[in-house]
Amino acid sequence: MTETAPIRVGLASHDIPADSRFVNEDLLPVPVERRRWTTYNFAALWVGMAHNIPSWMLASGLVALGMDWKQAVLTIALANVIVLVPMLLTGHAGPKYGIPFPVLARASFGLRGANLPALIRAGVACAWFGIQTWIGGQGVFVLVGKLVGGDGWVEAARIGGQPWTLWLCFLLFWALELAIILRGMEALRRFENWAAPFVIVGALVLLVWITVKAGGFGPLLDQPSALGWGADFWPVFFPSLMGMIAFWATLSLNIPDFTRFGAGQRAQVRGQALGLPTTMTLFALLSVLVTSGSQVVYGAAVWDPVALASRTDSVFGLLFALVTVLVATISVNIAANVVSPAYDLANLAPRLIDFRTGALITGVVGVLIMPWKLTETPELYIFTWLGLVGGMLGTVAGILIADYWLVRRTVLDLPDLYRRGGRYWYAGGWNPAAVAAFVVGGVLAVGGSHSAPGKGPFPQDGLIPPLRPLADYGWAVGLAASLLLYVVLMVPKARRTTP
């Protein structure tokens, strides 16, 4: 079927069901006249999101796992070129229809079934929000401790095994983030526009500092790989590649939450293509060079940039590092980890939960998941957390892409996305084909999850031992399996479900 719908579609007021439980102001399409984000806005969004402490730790963690700087940068660059593809494919529905991710998911999962991928995405985002906030709070704690001096700050009375001063920094940081997001998406756009270049400058300053201490760029580039390019490298490379993809696999689902404000397809395609792979590769290069420099200067890889910055004795340097940590963490956390679950939770109960209420719920859940446990080691962070998340999110992405591009050829009936009994109602609001594809893809993607002895929560032989060989490719397995099965199940029904 060829596309016959206009390039940008709006929803007339008479098409909105007045009494529908599937409608609220935040879930309705953005009016065409308010879709005005430009290429720069999308590029700045990605620059602001990519330049953050966890993505720094992602790259530097590869060095800590034994890669040299070339291997680490190659892994991250390849991963971000790969994840850009589903990002652009799912992002297409945003400028065209003005709808957020949970509403787009209604086309494939059904009006009620869309809550399944929405809640999975929301749960992951809540966990990421907690991780980012904990890391940001740690950064503030360490740097303020260096500024005030003495042992009173660091050795304060402990609550739950941590100094109360660390909990104070965590909670203050948490409150600041929510205060910004409650001002709305336009405030977020303005914040990202100036935060992006500031964080780049901060990363460059850290590189210059460690280069001077190491005695030039030469020592940074000369650190050898502990893995080589042979048999020891590939068992680390493939799960690391999937982990790097999983890092942004969350956004490859809910990118319509942002592209729905786009002035057109060109703005979102160019902005994302310019912003994501180039920025992440540059930031990866900066982080692995700095981490390599830390090996030269301190005799061991310091993969946490806050711990590294705290080693300076300059008051100005500490203050600059503190502000950079604040801006970088707030920039990514608000955009990547609050916007999505706010919409996802609103989709769960549109009459009870609006965008701001969803943001507050996200903030609370992000604390309850105890994020300090997920970043204790590079193995736990990259292989366990990101590997598991990547497999599940790849499965959802496969279904969304199959439905929007292969089954419907980008043509949606916009009013029926909000209407009980319409073409997306399926069986009581659930599409059995999407549920089946999700279950099969998910089991294949994460069923073989395994951990080395003492390195994680999974059995050494995998949750389902025969699937263990697939676990290192979880995101790709989940996406491919769910996409193929969904197409097979839905093609016979396409005539009845496509306008």
* Band of residue 90 on the pLDDT scale cut at 50, 70, 90: very high
Burial 210-226 (b: 16+ CB within 10 A, else e): bbeebeeeebbeebebe
Residue 110's pLDDT is 96
Identify the CA nearest to 450 among candidates 233, 230, 239.
239
pLDDT of 446 higher than 80: yes
pLDDT of 359 higher than 50: yes
Residue 14's pLDDT is 65
Residue 223's pLDDT is 66
Task: Give the three-class secondary structure for 239.
Answer: helix
Rounded Cα–Cα distance for residues 8 and 93 (Å): 9
Rounded Cα–Cα distance for residues 82 and 327 (Å): 28
Residue 63 token pair: 């060095």
Residue 150 token pair: 């003495």
Whether 161 and 186 have beta carbons less than 8 Å apart is answered as no
What is the distance between the terminal CA atoms of the chain, rounded to a whole angstrom? 10
Residue 185 token pair: 């998406």
Residue 185's pLDDT is 59
Residue 417's pLDDT is 93
Give the helix ranges, DSSP H, for 255-314: 256-259, 265-298, 305-309
Place of tokens 């491919």: 480
Q: What is the pLDDT of residues 333-345, one digit of tens each?
A: 777 777 778 878 8
Q: How far is CA 155 from CA 145, 162, 164, 319, in A?
A: 10, 9, 9, 21
H-run or E-run covering 474: helix 474-490
Identify the CA nearest to 270 among candidates 76, 96, 38, 97.
38
Percent of the chain scored above 70 by pLDDT? 88
Most confidently modeled range among 11-20, 85-94, 143-152: 85-94
Rounded Cα–Cα distance for residues 170 and 75 (Å): 32
Q: What is the pLDDT of residues 308-322, one digit of tens each?
A: 777 777 777 777 777
Q: What is the pLDDT of residues 17-74, one digit of tens each?
A: 666 788 888 889 999 888 989 998 898 888 777 777 767 777 777 877 788 778 888 8
pLDDT of 382 higher than 70: no
pLDDT of 401 higher than 70: yes
Give the helix ranges, DSSP H, for 349-422: 355-368, 378, 387-401
H-run or E-run covering 162: strand 162-163
Residue 198's pLDDT is 75
Residue type, 242: M
Residue 21 neighbours by CB under 8 Å, 6+ apart: 350, 351, 420
Compute the average pLDDT of residues 429-458: 87
Q: What is the pLDDT of residues 463-495, one digit of tens each?
A: 899 998 888 788 889 999 999 999 999 987 665
Tell how far CA 456 is from the center of its chain. Answer: 22
Residue 211 token pair: 């280069």
Whether 307 and 146 have beta carbons less than 8 Å apart is answered as no
Average pLDDT, the chain: 82
The more confident residue out of 92 and 221 is 92
Q: What is the pLDDT of residues 155-206, one digit of tens each?
A: 888 887 788 998 899 888 888 887 877 776 566 666 666 666 777 787 788 7
Residue 456's pLDDT is 65
Strand partners, 163: 158
- Dihedral in degrees, nearest 10, Cα atoms 461, 465, 469, 474: -100
Compute the average pLDDT of residues 83-109: 94
Residue 494's pLDDT is 62
Rounded Cα–Cα distance for residues 482 and 480 (Å): 6
Residue 240 token pair: 């690391």
Q: How far is CA 384 from CA 73, 242, 288, 380, in A?
A: 21, 11, 22, 5
Whether 50 and 448 have beta carbons less than 8 Å apart is answered as no
Rounded Cα–Cα distance for residues 184 and 199 (Å): 22
* Band of residue 413 on the pLDDT scale cut at 50, 70, 90: very high
Residue 254 token pair: 């809910």
Residue 197's pLDDT is 73
Residue 455's pLDDT is 66
Compute the average pLDDT of residues 366-374: 75
Residue 319 neighbours by CB under 8 Å, 6+ apart: 147
Strand partners, 37: 262
Task: Give the three-class secondary structure for 15.
Answer: helix
Residue 6 neighbours by CB under 8 Å, 6+ apart: none
Q: What is the pLDDT of residues 255-296, one digit of tens each?
A: 999 999 999 899 999 999 998 888 888 877 887 788 778 878
Largest CA distance in the chain: 72
Residue 20 token pair: 């529908």
Strand 162-163 and strand 158-159: pairing?
antiparallel
Residue 123 neighbours by CB under 8 Å, 6+ apart: 341, 365
Residue type, 359: A
- Considering the entire predicted model, what is its pTM? 0.81
pLDDT of 4 higher than 50: no
Percent of the chain scored above 90 by pLDDT? 25
